[in-house]
Amino acid sequence: MNRVYNFSAGPSMLPLPVLEKAAAELVCYGESGMSVMEMSHRSPDYEVIIADAEKMLRSLMQIPDNYKVLFLQGGASTQFAAVPMNLIGKTGKADYIVSGQFSGKAFKEAQKLGYDVRCVATTKDDNFDHVPTVKREDFRPDASYVHICFNNTIYGTKYGYIPDTGDIPLVADMSSCIISEPVDVSKFGVIYAGAQKNMAPAGLTIVIVREDLLDYAQADMPTMLEWKTMAENDSMYNTPPCYTIYMAKLVYEWILSIGGLDEMKKMNEKKAAYLYDYLDGQDYYVAPVKKDSRSMMNVTFVTGDADLDKKFASEAGKAGLKNLKGHRSVGGMRASIYNAMPYEGVVALVDFMKEFAKNNPKG
């Protein structure tokens, strides 16, 4: 078996033990005589799978009892519309912090729907090299919610703090950092995330919503976007993404087996520190993100020469370090070092970076 180190921002690599267990159960799950892919979502076997997935996620994230956990489809991008449709009925207004491309898209989607939404702060003029610093008084006191993207995959930034919104529910897109470290769920009204970066293959979206926020949905909104309907039907109003939920359950199981999110955080901090320490100790590559906003999951860097950046990504791929090309909108390089990336992969990357710098001097 010739596994590469896959630095893709998503879909991303999965833990090898998870893949191996999934492979062993692919044709026949337990005593069911069938694959989970073939299983009715109403069957007793599958009901146990989805119930265990929720139980494990609640355990991992220490989700309070007064929050619903929803297993949905449509990606985090669908939630850009679902969030205002479900919440803005509380007061008719919402505030957004735009710290990158996806929070910007969420803001524009709410505007497109005709809602009274306001951009409170943005770092667009600084090429999103840090996250905005905000205070409670920056928000409208009658806002239904405040929306943020907690980790910015494209630019490699992350909130080093949880914004103080007072009594206004805080809504966070955590697609690229969920279950990478402990987070106090009670500080948020809603957390949502596409699963394809840290949880599972593409196709599953997680929504964690405080129960008291389920009563503000727009009356004419599509049923499939209404969280209350999905909560009342235990995420099975229609056929859910069955196999992807099963894969997520295996990932939760794996994290629990290694010590939970406290241990996961230690592993992720070690990987990120090794890469950032190298970047900070040389002058060939530049890490554009301000230190207090650096992401632990997505590390961006450039050589300052577009041709060299292109050559770097190409030669790294040939060396078994795949998908290091930066997002098409910003260029450069991006190493996504999610939960499943082993420490050895980051060491291999730094070794390659050193060799590349030595063999490709800048004029």
181-188: average pLDDT: 98
Domain range spanning residue 311?
260-359
Q: State whether 222 and 84 are in the same domain.
A: yes
* Percent of the chain whose pLDDT exceeds 90: 96
What does the pLDDT read at residue 8?
97
Q: State whether 123 and 184 are in the same domain.
A: yes
Q: Is the pLDDT of residue 363 over 80?
A: no
What does the pLDDT read at residue 314?
97
Structural domain ending residue among the three candidates 257, 289, 321: 257
Q: State whether 131 and 96 are in the same domain.
A: yes
Helix (H, G, I), strand (E, B) or coil at 163: coil
Q: Is the pLDDT of residue 67 over 70?
A: yes
**96: confidence class by pLDDT, cuts 50, 70, 90:** very high
Q: State whether 227 and 269 are in the same domain.
A: no
CA count, 13 A, side-chain hemisphere, 303: 19
Q: State whether 230 and 211 are in the same domain.
A: yes
- pTM exceeds 0.85 for this model: yes
Determine contact, residues 199/251, Cβ cutoff 8 Å: yes
In order of 6, 157, 182, the CA distances from 131 in angstroms are: 27, 7, 20
What does the pLDDT read at residue 305?
94
171-195: average pLDDT: 98
Structural domain ending residue among the three candidates 240, 257, 274: 257
User: Is residue 42, in this structure, part of any structural domain at all?
Assistant: yes
**362: confidence class by pLDDT, cuts 50, 70, 90:** confident
What does the pLDDT read at residue 327?
86
What does the pLDDT read at residue 288?
95
pLDDT digits (tens, 9 = 90+) for 99-132: 999 999 999 999 999 999 999 999 999 999 999 9
What does the pLDDT read at residue 264?
98
In the chain, the number of structural domains is: 2
**What distance in Å separates the CA atoms of residue 326 and residue 308, rounded to the nearest whole number?**
13
Q: State whether 194 and 341 are in the same domain.
A: no
What does the pLDDT read at residue 309?
96
Q: State whether 183 and 305 are in the same domain.
A: no
* Percent of the chain whose pLDDT exceeds 70: 100
CB neighbour class for 232 (10 Å; exposed up to 12, middle 13-18, buried from 19):
exposed
User: Is residue 1, in this structure, part of any structural domain at all?
Assistant: no
Domain with 324 in it: what CATH number? 3.90.1150.10
- φ/ψ of 300, rounded to 5, equals -105, 145
User: Is residue 6, in this structure, part of any structural domain at all?
Assistant: no
Q: Is the pLDDT of residue 329 over 80?
A: no
**330: confidence class by pLDDT, cuts 50, 70, 90:** confident
Nearest CA among 142, 95, 103, 99 for reference residue 124: 99
User: Is residue 2, in this structure, part of any structural domain at all?
Assistant: no
Mean pLDDT of the chain: 97
What does the pLDDT read at residue 1?
64
**342: confidence class by pLDDT, cuts 50, 70, 90:** very high
**What distance in Å separates the CA atoms of residue 141 and residue 134, rounded to the nearest whole number?**
14
What does the pLDDT read at residue 169?
98
Q: State whether 114 and 250 are in the same domain.
A: yes
Neighbours of 314 (CB within 10 A): 12
Nearest CA among 159, 166, 122, 123 for reference residue 143: 166
